[in-house]
Structure 1
Amino acid sequence: MSEATARGSTTINVQSLDENMKLEEKGPLGLLWHSPVEAPFRLSGFAWYDQERLFRRMPVNDSGKLPQAVDYLANCTAGGQISFRTNSPRLAVSVELVAAADMYHMPATGQCGFDAYIGTPGEHRYIATSRYDHREQSYECILFELPESTMREVTLNFPLYQGVKSVSIGLESASEVLPPTPYASNKKVVLYGTSILQGGCANRPGMAYPNIISRRIPMQFINLGFSGNGRGEPEVAGIISEIQDPALLVLDYEANAVSHELYSQTLPEFIRIYREAHPEVPILVVSKFRYALENFNPEALQRRLRMRQIAIDVVGKYKQQGDHNIHFFDGSDMFGGDDAHECTVDGSHPTDLGFLRMADALTPTFQQLLSRELE
């Protein structure tokens, strides 16, 4: 290393210094490319795909019902998954994004990348994430290259914070492609909330907490987290009520509720609208975890506690009226004890550790509420 470099007077190119961080050399991959929207592949996480043929989390806003920000964020593909079985020793993806990576506190691998898991339901094991030039709007990369042509079950997770115009799966031309293991139920777990639900700021898609739980519960998960805009609007509640065959509705939007007044208005109304369409579907209202600021600002702590009490009161009122399928989950301690402050990127958005702890805390409740579907 030169004296100038040692003094820090030149740009450090880590890829030139660490072989493990180099990007693959581009060139013909020699693979057969498949569309994941055609059998035997299973596409999940997009409730309106069959009608609109778009990787989009809400219907196209032709009627103008959606708030503008929600309409825009619906193009982010958080929660989308592609599942299949193959004996191909190599697997690649070819992806065209809506835009390039542009977030300051979330890596491009989480915002714009795909990641891959191998294994049957309950036995998923992470293997790889897209490696590409984050300045690019499209990329083609090998996710894994293994020595044996063994039949494997593969799950690919879509990017969390970017739109996907197209994606193709590259496999060896002589390999087989078979359907994945069927879900335990045809019903869906529907989650509505904020940037935290959407997956900000996971390092890779599989670490968003709904994706973690989906590896433990073999059902389709619909992630309707809208960054900064999970505000419980009645129009949004009405559209979410249109999703067919729900097994569980999770309301995790307290962090975007803006004020105590707004939350106390929107939460009971959201539930009322949903109940008109789905009288018996379990509803789980989740309160938010402790933010780092609460350790130093008593006002921030009291604000969260007041929000939490609103949720407790609304759920309690519905129970008193005879709704026995509505439940409250206290998220205060989802990050654990003394080291909870280490679980975020910026005081509010979880790291992968934070998301794992959220999933660990929530999974038993999800399993209990979904027990009939999982029998």
Structure 2
Amino acid sequence: MENIIYYNIKDEPFGIYGLYNPKEEDVFKRMPDDVAKATSKDVEFHAKETAGGRIRFTTDSPYVAIKAEMPYVANFPHMPVTGTSGFDLYVHEGGKDVYKGTFMPPSDMKNGYESVIHFSDRKTRNITIHFPLYNHVNKVFAGLQKGSFLGSGHRYKYEKPIVYYGSSITQGGCASRPGNCYTNIISATLDCDHINLGFSGSAKAEDPIAEYIASLDFAIFVYDYDHNAPTCEYLEATHERMFLRIREKQPNKPIILMSRPDFDASKESSILRRNIIRKTYTNALARGDKNTYFIDGEKLFMEKYRDACTVDNCHPNDAGFVRMAEVVSSVVEMLLHQF
């Protein structure tokens, strides 16, 4: 394109959210290398996948382009490349972020791509760009028409982040695009910052990740840990232990406990796991904890059409994530009003 200028998003005035020390680290990541390595080899890999990352800025450019450099392309049979490796563009309107388009990755992408989204008119817009859910990203550049205004992005109404911890579902598998992960839907709708610490197949409540989360200055902790515990016995041995580690360091912060959403796939196991998670909750209440909450995973997909909410009887599709966002956000919104 003619008259386009590319800007490194690590430079001012761009804001980068949901990622660890994003303007100083060599590549984008969700947590410090030493914590990820101490947690597990799998978490060390997945921590460099950019789920929950966002770029924010203001411009009156009639288009926004991106140029992204990636070391590989995440290619799954059950998830579109727009979700694993694409970027989404939102504009802040009426107190929330509204989807305007996806920077569409080419089908033959190998190590990154360039894409552009045009607007129908020229005016100043508050832009949010969502990072890919399942890809490593080395560099990102934002392209604007030469001479366009470029300023700082909209600041979140709730600036202290919500922290989510859990499995591939928490990370966003298998949304068709990044903005449709339930954590991103809640952020866009409620105008709140967040950090996504979902790790595909690797959320096992290890002590290093528990200590790291306990050290964060969060508004709310959403404890979406269930799926990756290999057995019910393992879940019972680790679920309350991690909760107590975080509660010890964060005695007054709201903590939401969730059981897995794909309840119907294995009802007997789902009931056993739900009972373990609910026990963490009831034990907290018995100790006088008045700021712990429980969401029953069986309710997340609601009733009608619940069998249409996954791609593989496990991972939510967009319909499943929208329903998860609706249920979880009702609790999150109530708690955010305390701030």
Identity %: 34
Does the Cα contact within 8 Å between 2:7 and 2:142 map onto a contact in 1? yes
Q: How many residues were matched structurally?
A: 338
The partner residue of 1:273 within 207, 229, 245 is: 245
Give the aligned partner of residue 342 of structure 1: 308
Give the aligned partner of residue 213 of structure 2: 240
Give the aligned partner of residue 326 of structure 1: 292
CA spacing shift, 1:64–1:81, aligned 2, 3 Å:
closer
Letter in 1 for 2:171: Q
Alignment partner of 1:85 is 2:58: yes
Give the aligned partner of residue 282 of structure 1: 254
Offset at residue 258 of structure 1 (A):
1.5
Alignment partner of 1:71 is 2:10: no
Q: How does 1:353-372 map to 2 (within 5 A)?
A: 353-372=319-338
Alignment partner of 1:352 is 2:324: no
SS at match of 1:241: helix
Alignment partner of 1:257 is 2:246: no
Alignment partner of 1:312 is 2:278: yes
Q: How does 1:96-175 map to 2 (within 5 A)?
A: 96-120=69-93, 122-136=95-109, 137-142=111-116, 144-175=117-148
CA offsets 1:53-76 (integer angstroms, 9 cap, x no match): 541011113794121101100010
Query: How far apart in 2 are the matches of 1:285 and 1:138?
Result: 37
CA RMSD of the aligned region, Å? 1.7
Offset at residue 185 of structure 1 (A):
3.3
More divergent stretch after superposition (255-264 vs 223-232): 255-264
SS at match of 1:76: coil
CA offsets 1:321-365 (integer angstroms, 9 cap, x no match): 122111111121211213100111111111111111110111110
Q: With structure 2 as the length reference, what TM-score do the two structures score?
A: 0.95
Offset at residue 153 of structure 1 (A):
1.2
Structure 1: any 5+ residue segments left out of the alignment? 1-27, 294-299
Offset at residue 291 of structure 1 (A):
4.2
Q: With structure 1 as the length reference, what TM-score do the two structures score?
A: 0.86
Offset at residue 49 of structure 1 (A):
3.1
In terms of fraction of residues, the more strand-rich structure is: 2
Does the Cα contact within 8 Å between 1:121 and 1:218 map onto a contact in 2? no
CA offsets 1:8-40 (integer angstroms, 9 cap, x no match): xxxxxxxxxxxxxxxxxxxx4531111222222
Offset at residue 119 of structure 1 (A):
2.1
More divergent stretch after superposition (214-223 vs 200-209): 214-223
